[in-house]
Chain A
Amino acid sequence: MERNLILAFESSCDETSVSVVENGSKILSNIVATQIKSHQRFGGVVPEVASRHHIEQITDCIDLAMSKAGVGYSDLNAVAVTYGPGLVGALLIGVTAAKTVAYAHHLPLIPVNHMAGHIYAARYVKPIEFPSLALLVSGGHTELVYLAAPGKFEIIGETRDDAAGEAYDKIGRVLGINYPAGKEVDRLAHLGKDTFNFPRAMDDSESFDFSFSGLKSAFINTVHHADQIGETLNREDLAASFQAAVVDVLADKTVRALDAYPQVKQLILAGGVAANQGLRERLTAELQAFDSVEFVKAPLKLCGDNAAMIGAEAYVEYQQQHFGKLDLNADPSLEFDFMA
């Protein structure tokens, strides 16, 4: 097979990342410059601060990605970039840098949907088989995506309000945990018990949509009420109860979707919240009931934002010759089509 090399860019939120990927399946380099420490000062991502960090980092990340991969520009076949969804000012740094490299080094440009990138992080575990179902859970998104064929992504269900990761950050704040709170809440949850019986929103509805704002409010009200009457609640049990409610809803909807689409060969778990141990354990258990469905979890290292996942998805687009032009712009609210 001819060697295909893609230089991929990701800058949709608070990570500047540049990667060189071979044949969509092998990471030659994956440089990730994270701004978490900076935004922790403010309790969350400040868009203008994020944009300023991206421009500080971008060419250094390019240099490192190229040198670590041990390749030159003439070895590359294409340049790929996340063009949405995300923060517009942040996206524009990656988009502008990628277009500039494409122009300067006479390479085709491949625009990549950030969410498709998250799904393709799973490609580094094994090839994706179609049709496939993906549960995508991150700070900005919670959705069930049906993959009928390579490069085809259709939403069958999504959150109607907060994303799961967003709910983690918000209740984390109430527990005094700094953003991003997911990892610490997950840790506490494993030490506690589900004693609060928080609501499982939309869990009995027929749709594949999610809702987490009711759960978040119930959590916050419970803690505030206890504060008012001078009672201290067990943090581990609070975390365990919250996580149990989130995981119940995610797992139930996913199982229902697998029942509704019996032809599905793989369930892919991806996105920042895919690193959550509670969710991984629960879905592993649920999948026991589905003999013909393989559970493919995005590697822990590639659950967060990174350019390697963008390079993996870009290879699919490359094979289909889906190239962008130099007038490519960022699309902050880009989303997959909904299944008809």
Chain B
Amino acid sequence: MKVLALDTSNQPLSVAVMKDHQVLATTTVTTTKKHAAHLLPIINASMKAAQFEPEDLDRVIVADGPGSYTGIRVSVTAAKTLAETLHIELVGVSSLATIAANVPVEGQLVAVLFDGRNDNVFAGVYRIKNGAPENVIADQHIAFEKLLPQIKKLGEPVVVLGDLAAFKTRLDSQLKEHFISYPQENSLPSAVQLGRLGESLKPVTDINAFVPRYLRLTKAEADWQRQHPKEDNRDYVEKV
């Protein structure tokens, strides 16, 4: 299977071209803030390096969130447009699971945190099973202070990856010897891990309906739903 994997869900941008689990080309850039400008040129260069034409692809795999809303939309838009217009398969993988997959230790608990501001995190906790992360605590947007006791309750050593700056002190004092930190590069998303996870997943059945997993409503939408609990909140867009 010929695969293109894309992740622009946070500051790093990562692209990989793979064939039957073998990496043919991969690029990860941590310095760009312009994912929209750089994603297609990097896809183009990676595909050329792998000597693939777009129509050679069998599957596109995309890290579909959580993460920066604008960031995830860049690669999800590219991925769904490639898949729909080339009639190839599309697979979405959690951006948190993609990072958890950096840990190659079977049975290990791994927590991944993205800073969601105001002491909130986008987070998921996984156990590495048959080489792939499986959710132990579902991916969610949650106050860090609510998540921490849940991790503590697991009562096992846990590798914590992601944006740790604001949380390290509390992880240390609460989890004590159960808090395992890895060198920083293990918190970088790798499209190679993404591709590896996505190769064995089932493709989405409705590519047009595929959207990022934001894990959080916009403020406007959340306020509106609170004020209108009974309204059906779909069908707001109509083709005219």
B240: chain A residues within 8 A (beta carbon): 32-34
Interface hits, B13-66 → A, CB 8 Å: 34, 36-41, 43-44, 54-55
Residues of chain B with a CB closer than 8 A to A100's CB: 40, 77-78, 81-82, 85
From B39, B55, B80, B224, contact of A58 by CB (8 A):
B80
Cβ-neighbour of B220 out of A37, A49, A97 (below 8 A): A49
Query: By the criterion CB–CB under 8 Å, are B218 and A60 in contact?
Result: no
A53 interfacial contact with B, CB 8 Å = yes
- Across the interface, do B40 and A49 meet the contact criterion of CB distance under 8 Å? no
B contact face: mostly helix, strand, loop, or mixed: helix
Task: Tell me, yes or no, whether B118 is within 8 Å of chain A by CB.
Answer: no
Whether the Cβ atoms of B238 and A104 lie closer than 8 Å is no
Asked if A101 lies at the interface with its beta carbon under 8 angstroms from chain B, I say yes
Binds A, one of B128-136, B144-152, B174-182, B203-211: B203-211
Does B239 have its Cβ within 8 Å of any Cβ on chain A?
yes
> Which residues of chain A are near B207, meaning CB under 8 Å?
59
B212 partner, pick from A41, A42, A55, A325, beta carbons under 8 A:
A55
CB of A167 within 8 A of chain B? no
A327 touches B40 (CB 8 A): yes
Given A34-B240, A37-B236, A104-B86, answer yes or no on A52-B211 (Cβ-Cβ < 8 Å): yes
Query: What sequence of 0s and 1s flags, for each residue 178-207 of chain B, a beta carbon within 8 Å of any chain A beta carbon?
Result: 000000000000000000000000000001
Asked if A99 is at the interface (CB within 8 A of a chain B CB), the reply is yes
Q: Which of B41, B218, B237 contacts A46 (CB 8 A)?
A: B218
Establish whether residues B86 and A97, one from each chain, have CB atoms under 8 Å apart when the complex forms. Answer: no
Instruction: Say yes or no: A329 contacts B54, CB within 8 Å.
Output: no
Q: Which residue of A lies closest to B47 (CB)?
A: A103
A239 within 8 A of B: no
The smallest beta-carbon distance between B52 and chain A, in angstroms, is 12
Interface membership of B156, Cβ < 8 A: no
A92 near B73 with CB under 8 A, answer: yes
Task: Give the chain A neighbours of B77 by CB distance below 8 A.
Answer: 55, 58, 92-93, 96-97, 100
Name the interface residues of B204-240: CB closer than 8 Å to any CB of A: 207-209, 211-212, 214, 218, 220-221, 224, 235-240
Contact present for A327 and B80 (CB under 8 Å): no
B76 touches A327 (CB 8 A): no
**Residues A51 and B238 in contact in the complex (CB < 8 Å), given A59-B85, A99-B40, A104-B81:** no
* From A16, A42, A58, A329, contact of B81 by CB (8 A): A58
Closest CB of chain B to A315's CB: distance in Å?
Answer: 22
B220 touches A48 (CB 8 A): yes
CB neighbours of A73 from chain B (8 A): 85
Q: List the B side residues contacting A99 at CB < 8 Å.
A: 40, 78
Report the bound CA distance from A1 to B69 in whole Å: 45
A59 contact from B40, B73, B84, Cβ within 8 A:
B84
Q: Answer yes or no: A190 CB below 8 A from chain B CBs.
A: no
Tell me, yes or no, whether B93 is within 8 Å of chain A by CB.
no
| A308 on the B face (CB < 8 A) | no
Indicate whether A258 reaches chain B with its CB closer than 8 angstroms: no
Contact of B80 among A59, A64, A88 (CB under 8 A): A59
Interface flags, A88-131, vs B, CB<8A=1, else 0:
11001101110111011110000000000000000000000000
A81, B211: Cα distance in complex, Å: 21
Complex interface residues of chain A between 24 and 63 (CB less than 8 A to chain B): 31-35, 37-38, 41-42, 46, 48-49, 51-53, 55-63
A328 at the interface (CB under 8 A from B): yes
Q: Give Cα distance in the complex from A52 to B219, angstroms.
A: 13
Other A-B contacts than A103-B40, A104-B54, A327-B41, 16 sampled, CB-CB below 8 A, are: A33-B238, A34-B239, A35-B237, A41-B220, A41-B224, A46-B218, A48-B220, A58-B81, A59-B208, A89-B69, A93-B73, A93-B77, A97-B81, A100-B77, A325-B41, A327-B38
Query: Footprint of A on B, CB under 8 Å?
Result: 34, 36-41, 43-44, 54-55, 69-70, 73-74, 76-78, 80-82, 84-86, 207-209, 211-212, 214, 218, 220-221, 224, 235-240
- Give the 9 A-B residue pairs with the shortest CB-CB distance, closest first: A38-B236, A326-B40, A100-B81, A329-B37, A59-B84, A60-B208, A96-B77, A104-B54, A46-B220
